[in-house]
Amino acid sequence: MGGRNGLSSPCLPRLPFLLFLLLLSVAVLTVAASENENKGSSLSASEAEAAVSRFREYLRINTSQPDPDYDAAVRFLRAQADDLGLESDVLEFVSGKPLLLLRWVGRIPSLPALLLNSHTDVVPTEPLKWAHPPFSAALDPATGNLYARGSQDMKCVGLQYLEAIRRLRAAGFAPDRTIYLSFVPDEEIGGNDGAGRLAASEKFQEMKVGVELDEGLASPGEEYRVFYGERSPWWLVIKARGAPGHGAKLYDGSAMENLMKSVEAVRRFRAAQFDLVKAGMKAEGEVVSVNLVYLKAGTPSPTGFVMNLQPSEAEVGLDIRVPPNANTEALERRIAEEWAPSSRNLTFEFKHKVSVHDMFGKPAITPADNSNPWWMLLEEAVKKANGKLGKPEIFPASTDARFFRERGIPAFGFSPMANTPILLHDHNEFLNKHEYLKGIEIYESIIKAFASYKGDAKDEESRAEL
Ligand SMILES: *[C@@H]1O[C@H](CO)[C@@H](O)[C@H](O)[C@H]1NC(C)=O
Ligand SMILES: *[C@@H]1O[C@H](CO)[C@@H](O)[C@H](O)[C@H]1NC(C)=O
């Protein structure tokens, strides 16, 4: 606005003054550009550049499901580990699905270890709907945005762990606790052949893991999101049977009519849960979500479906997500009595049902309050690195962290991406390089705090005995 007034001013400035203005603006732009290169980071410009280029190299490896190039990812990551002087081991619980395990031995190996987990696979893309090819790791010079599948979910985190360790080693830091890094396959297709196998292995027992870090979600605001539990998937199929009949006839008890009554009940429940979120009374992860994922009915014909016949069978598939503290007995009763009552000739079956409890029968959550020293260390470490944590949340979907929480191991979901739209699984997934670099410093602070924590020795011993 000020500039426009200047232009309309009747007396134009003289040439020397214009030159002065020109020089001034060049100087200001130069300073701004160099700040933009390295916004408030303690990484030098060359360190930052090298870190971003390693990140891009990882992003360019096509680890897309359904046929991820795991070998290339493991080769790249192993070279990084060699460069850093970390011990590495490739575990192949399932053939063709390598899991890379790195180790930095602590000074007090009897202390339970820290596990930094990330998955190497990413979800498929529709390349034509992207502005840049999804495995090109295109860097927009104007904004610093790095476009790639996996930039948020979660190749960023995997390499940030390594970059943080690079800096800690360069600074001569020696961890008290042993630090493990696991790069696991298959998270995007359930994780059973990756983190699931690891958590259930003898090897894992030997590792004596005391705390685990895993993925979180980007946050559009200033605060990082952090997750202390997650909802359990219940995948439900409801089937209806009924007398078939002419399409013109009105009668009770058809499969479709019986099933639609259920669909109506499900939708009422869904709306009530969603209203709690919309009203700001509950967070997304705190309500039971239920979505209709398929409807199957009808009598096929060569041109589609027979139109004058009411079918004798119909079914619906529901994706239900249950928070760890939900009243599961009440929900099961609702399903049996309201959504799929046998009195309406309905049957139901769970295709997949994950317990909301851990192996010890307790809700599978990691306390995110002062009762948990790991939580206090995490909060403090993020603050120290000039980051802000939001209110701890329940992750709305599933991550690999569940395999560890299920075994009573404290686990936090955390991906340090603030000021970033949530684009996981979306087209044009990106992460700004400055956010990426900031995240390295956040992890540096967290790893330092966790690996130096001596803990309550008695507490640790009794846990080890369990
Ligand atoms: C990446 O791998 C997937 C198979 O998992 C394949 O369908 C896709 O075409 C590959 N993309 C590129 C750019 O090579
Ligand atoms: C359930 O099926 C039985 C046997 O076919 C039938 O007699 C009854 O009316 C049906 N009930 C409903 C509510 O559709």
* Selection from 418, 339, 423, 429 nearest residue 386 by Cα: 418
In a shared domain, residues 75 and 199? yes
Residue 283, domain CATH: 3.30.70.360
Please give the mean pLDDT across all residues of the chain. 92
Ligand 2 centroid–CA 316 distance in Å is 19
Cβ–Cβ < 8 Å for 281, 333: no
- Look at ligand 1, atom 12, and give the residue with the nearest C-alpha: 62
The predicted pLDDT at position 43 comes to 92
| Confidence check: pLDDT of 15 > 70 | no
Ligand nearest to the CA of 125: 1
C-beta of 415 in contact with ligand 2 (< 6 A)? no
Active site residue ranges: 121, 187
Q: Is residue 19 part of a domain?
A: no
The predicted pLDDT at position 263 comes to 98
The predicted pLDDT at position 460 comes to 52
Q: Quick: pLDDT tens for 243-273.
A: 999 999 999 999 999 999 999 999 999 999 9
Q: Quick: pLDDT tens for 361-397.
A: 999 999 999 999 999 999 999 999 999 999 999 999 9
**Which pLDDT band, with edges at 50, 70 and 90, does 158 fall under?**
very high
Query: Which range is least confidently modeled, 1-10, 105-114, 124-133?
Result: 1-10
One-character DSSP codes across 318-332: EEEEE-TTS-HHHHH
Average pLDDT over residues 107-136: 97
Q: Is residue 242 part of a domain?
A: yes
In a shared domain, residues 205 and 85? yes
Q: Is the dihedral of CA 453, 363, 417, 82 positive or negative?
A: positive
In a shared domain, residues 96 and 155? yes
Q: Is residue 25 part of a domain?
A: no
Cβ–Cβ < 8 Å for 252, 267: no
Q: Quick: pLDDT tens for 170-210.
A: 999 999 999 999 999 999 999 999 999 999 999 999 999 99
In a shared domain, residues 390 and 426? yes
Ligand 1 centroid–CA 80 distance in Å is 24
Q: Is residue 318 part of a domain?
A: yes
| 324/402 Cα distance (integer angstroms) | 11
Residue 174, domain CATH: 3.40.630.10
- Look at ligand 2, atom 9, and give the residue with the nearest C-alpha: 253
C-beta of 344 in contact with ligand 2 (< 6 A)? yes
- CA distances to 96, 159, 367 from 53, in Å: 28, 11, 37
Q: Which domain holds residue 171?
A: 45-226+368-465
In a shared domain, residues 67 and 195? yes
In a shared domain, residues 101 and 214? yes
Ligand nearest to the CA of 65: 1
The predicted pLDDT at position 455 comes to 85
| 451/210 Cα distance (integer angstroms) | 11
- Look at ligand 1, atom 2, and give the residue with the nearest C-alpha: 64
Ligand 2 centroid–CA 314 distance in Å is 15
In a shared domain, residues 175 and 52? yes
| Confidence check: pLDDT of 437 > 50 | yes
- Look at ligand 2, atom 7, and give the residue with the nearest C-alpha: 253
Cis peptide before 300 (omega within 30 of 0): no
**Which pLDDT band, with edges at 50, 70 and 90, does 7 fall under?**
very low
Query: In the structure, which protein residues have their CB atom closer than 6 angstroms to any atom of ligand 1?
Result: 62, 64, 66-67, 135
The predicted pLDDT at position 3 comes to 34
Task: Out of 288, 318, 353, pick the residue that ends a domain.
Answer: 353
Q: Is residue 13 part of a domain?
A: no
